[in-house]
C-alpha cells in the first residue's frame, strides 16, 4: 500500500507558498504604484518646466512684437521724413533754378551739387549787391523831374553852344540829396560863382560823382558816407537860372552820361554794361567776383570755386525808356 500524507500536513505546506505569492504580489503592486507615482511626478515636473519655458517664450514674443511695432512706427516716421526731405529738395531745386534764371547764370550741369549751385547763386547775388553798393546808381534826388540831359546844348545864360557834362534836376531849394553809393567826400567847396556850392564824392573803382548849386552841406571833406546817406540839400548857388541840382558822374576823370546809372537797378542789371562803353566792365566784374568769392570761401566751405563766372553782361537786355 502507498503511504499517504495527512491532510493537515498538506495544508501546512501550502500556507508558506501562499504567503510568498501574496508578498510577491504586494511587492509588485507597490512597485508598480511607486513607479507610476514617480512617472507621474516626473511628467508633472516636465510639464511645469515646459509651462515656465512657454511663459518665457510668450513674454519674449510679446517683447519682440512690441519692438517690431516700435521699429515699424520708426520706419514710418523715417519714410515720412524722407518724403518731406525729398519734397523740400525738389522745392529747393526749383528755387535755385528760379534764382539762376533771375541772375542770368548758365543752367547747372549734373556734376554740380546743390551746395555748389547755392554758392554760385550766393556769389552772384553778392556781386550784384556789392556793385550797387560801390558804383553810383539811382537818382540822388528821388522823384524829382529831369530838365536837362547829358551832351551838347545851348547854355541857358550865355546862350552859347556848350557841352553839358551832367543831368539837371528841377529840385526846389532844400530838397534832400542822398549818396548814390558808398564814397569818401573828396571836396566840399563853397562858392558864389560857376557851379556854386559843390560836393565831390570819390567812389571806388575810379568812379566819382559831383553835386552842384547846392544850398547846404551835410558832410565835410574826408568823411566816409554810405549809399543812401543824406549829404546835403539842393539850392540855387553859383551861375544858375533857378533852383536845381546839377549831377555828374566821372570815370578816371572822364565825364559819363549819368542817365544809365540813374536808371540802373536789379531788374535791368546788364543794361548799364551795354550802354556805357567807356568802362572795362569785364575786368571790373572779375575783380569784384574774386573779392566776393574770397569772402564766401572764408565764411563757408573751404572748397568753394573761386573761378565762378558771376555776370553774363553779354546777355541781351531791353533798353529802358529815356527820361
Could you give the CA distance from residue 255 to residue 164 in angstroms, rounded to a whole number? 10
pLDDT of residue 232: 97
pLDDT tops 80 at residue 280: yes
Q: In sequence order, what are the beta bridge partners of 162? A: 153
Contacts of 138 (CB under 8 A, 6+ apart): 180, 262, 264, 265
pLDDT tops 80 at residue 21: no
Residue of 130 and 24 predicted with greater confidence: 130
Most confident of 44-58, 125-139, 283-297: 125-139
Selection from 142, 99, 140 nearest residue 123 by Cα: 99
Average pLDDT of 137-152?
A: 87
Q: Which residue is associated with the grid cell 551861375?
A: 239
Going by the DSSP 8-state scheme, the letter that residue 315 receives in this structure is: S
Q: How confident is the model at residue 225 (pLDDT cuts 50, 70, 90)?
A: very high
pLDDT of residue 294: 77
pLDDT of residue 42: 78
CATH topology of domain 137-262: Glucose Permease (Domain IIA) (2.70.70)
DSSP string, 120-187: HHHHHHHHHHHHHHHS--S-SSTT--EEE-SEEEE-TTT-SEEEE-SEEE-PPTT-EEE-SS-EEEEE
Cite the DSSP H helix spans in the chain.
Answer: 7-103, 114-134, 258-262, 271-275, 281-299
Residue of 48 and 167 predicted with greater confidence: 167
H, E, C per residue of 64-81: HHHHHHHHHHHHHHHHHH
pTM score:
0.60
Most confident of 15-19, 75-79, 307-311: 75-79
Sign for the CA dihedral angle at 161, 162, 165, 169 comes to negative
- Pairing mode, strands 245-251 and 207-217: antiparallel
> What dihedral angle (degrees, nearest 10) is formed by the CA atoms of 243, 249, 250, 255?
-60
pLDDT tens-digit series, residues 292-311: 877 766 665 544 443 434 44
Average pLDDT of 51-76?
A: 85
pLDDT tops 60 at residue 114: no
Amino acid at each position: 500500500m502507498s503511504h499517504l500524507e495527512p491532510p493537515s500536513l498538506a495544508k501546512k505546506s501550502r500556507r508558506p507558498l501562499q504567503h510568498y505569492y501574496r508578498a510577491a504580489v504586494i511587492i509588485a503592486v507597490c512597485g508598480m504604484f511607486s513607479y507610476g507615482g514617480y512617472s507621474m511626478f516626473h511628467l508633472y515636473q516636465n510639464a511645469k518646466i515646459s509651462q515656465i519655458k512657454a511663459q518665457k517664450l510668450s513674454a519674449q514674443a510679446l517683447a519682440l512684437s512690441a519692438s517690431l511695432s516700435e521699429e515699424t512706427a520708426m520706419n514710418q516716421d523715417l519714410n515720412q521724413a524722407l518724403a518731406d526731405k525729398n519734397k523740400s529738395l525738389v522745392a529747393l531745386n526749383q528755387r535755385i533754378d528760379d534764382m539762376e534764371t533771375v541772375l542770368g547764370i548758365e543752367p547747372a550741369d549734373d556734376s554740380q551739387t546743390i551746395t555748389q549751385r547755392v554758392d554760385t547763386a550766393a556769389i552772384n547775388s553778392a556781386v550784384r549787391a556789392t556793385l550797387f553798393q560801390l558804383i553810383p546808381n539811382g537818382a540822388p534826388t528821388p522823384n524829382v523831374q529831369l530838365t536837362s540831359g547829358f551832351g551838347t546844348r545851348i547854355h541857358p545864360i550865355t546862350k552859347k553852344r556848350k557841352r553839358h557834362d551832367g543831368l539837371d534836376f528841377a529840385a526846389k531849394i532844400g530838397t534832400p540829396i542822398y549818396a548814390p553809393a558808398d564814397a569818401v567826400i573828396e571836396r566840399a567847396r563853397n562858392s558864389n560863382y560857376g557851379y556854386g556850392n559843390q560836393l565831390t564824392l570819390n567812389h571806388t573803382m575810379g568812379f566819382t560823382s559831383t553835386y552842384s548849386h547846392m544850398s547846404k552841406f551835410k558832410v565835410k571833406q574826408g568823411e566816409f558816407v554810405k549809399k543812401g546817406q543824406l549829404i546835403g540839400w539842393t539850392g540855387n548857388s553859383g551861375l544858375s537860372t533857378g533852383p536845381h541840382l546839377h549831377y555828374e558822374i566821372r570815370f578816371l576823370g572822364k565825364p559819363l552820361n549819368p542817365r544809365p546809372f540813374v536808371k540802373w537797378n536789379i531788374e535791368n542789371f546788364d543794361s548799364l554794361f551795354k550802354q556805357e562803353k567807356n568802362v572795362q566792365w569785364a575786368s571790373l566784374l572779375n575783380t569784384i567776383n574774386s573779392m566776393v568769392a574770397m569772402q564766401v570761401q572764408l565764411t563757408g566751405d573751404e572748397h568753394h570755386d573761386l573761378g565762378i563766372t558771376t555776370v553774363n553782361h553779354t546777355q541781351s537786355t531791353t533798353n529802358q525808356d529815356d527820361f
